Amino acid sequence: MLKAALAGAAGLAGAAAYTTARPAVAHAVPAGGYEELWVNSSMGPIKVQVQWAKRGGSAALYLLDGMRARTDANAWSFETNAFEQFALDDVTLVLPVGGESSWYSDWYSPSNFNNQDITYQWETFLTRNLPDALAARGVDRTRTAIAGLSMGGTAAMNLAAHHRDQFRFAASFSGYLWLNAPGMRTAVRIAMLDAGLYNVDSMYGPPWDPAWERNDPFTQAESLRGLPMYISAGSGIPGYADNIENMTDLVNTVSGMGLEALALATTRAFETRLNSLGIGATYSFPAAGIHSWPYWSGELWLARPHILDALRAW
């Protein structure tokens, strides 16, 4: 597979050294190839997987991970064929690594439930540290798209709403796009406890804190006016990718059905909100599909022409 070959080449070359912010001289974007960068931040060095634009163009697509983001690799790099999908396109794929249960936001404090030793500052990283580092390699900080699944889908819409000078396109695949819907704050709390014992109060504070409103795509919908968007969620009904052969498969499928049903409900509510404001977007609501990587890989492929159009990166 292409991504295996790219990763192998990266292994031979070694990971790039730490990238510093705002270097004096920007270089041309490498024409194709895979590289792993380490970008400095207040959280320490953050690993970023990069597939450079095929012809050295300056556009970029950030792909955000889900709730259980790992520290060794972004799941888009091994759960999907994202690298292959864009291998011949003139857009750089940017896959930040880490951020479990972070919602890719700036937190108030470290999570006290699991003795976290840093304060998450992912919004700052994705909108300052990372674009600064990429600009040193020729990537245009104002010619960027952002997409994510589940938690990452919520974050993609939030970041695009608050940083319109950076993002020209946003996509959510099974994101939770009405974070303040009845029962959602409790659902987020439980999900974060399940995914690493993270305390939601360290992130957004108590229910009356304005951070809850600021990080809710539903509330921030007006700020998305004029932005090209691709928004999708499955029905929660098992489809082509769901083969139940044992009890583990059954448990995972049932869990995926519930998670996708919740994503669909909040995404449909977000659609209604955008429609009420006269804000357009491209939607995809397939008749089958649960909260699972094969479906998100397929949706990324469907979103691809919209991303390339918005970035003028054909």
Q: What are phi and psi of 202, to 5 degrees?
A: -75, -20
What's this model's pTM, rounded to 2 decimal places?
0.91
What is the per-residue DSSP string for 41-94? -TTS-EEEEEE--TT--SEEEEEE--TT--SS--THHHHS-HHHHTTTSSEEEE
Structural domain for 50, as ranges: 2-311
Q: Compare 304 and 314 and report the one with higher pLDDT.
A: 304
Residues 6+ apart with CB under 8 A from 98: 46, 47, 69, 70, 71
Task: Assess whether pLDDT exceeds 80 at residue 27.
Answer: no
Task: Assess whether pLDDT exceeds 50 at residue 4.
Answer: no
Residue-wise pLDDT for 212-252, tens only, equals 999 999 999 999 999 999 999 999 999 999 999 999 999 99
In the block, residue with structure tokens 């448990």: 251
Q: What is the CATH number of the domain that holds 9?
A: 3.40.50.1820
H/E stretch holding 18 reads strand 18-19
Q: How confident is the model at residue 19 (pLDDT cuts 50, 70, 90)?
A: very low
Q: How far is CA 50 from CA 12, 98, 126, 131, 247, in A?
A: 16, 14, 14, 13, 37
Q: How many domains does the chain have?
A: 1
Tell me, what's the pLDDT at 28?
78
* Active site residue ranges: 150, 260, 291
Mean pLDDT of the 89-112 span: 98
Task: Assess whether pLDDT exceeds 90 at residue 15.
Answer: no
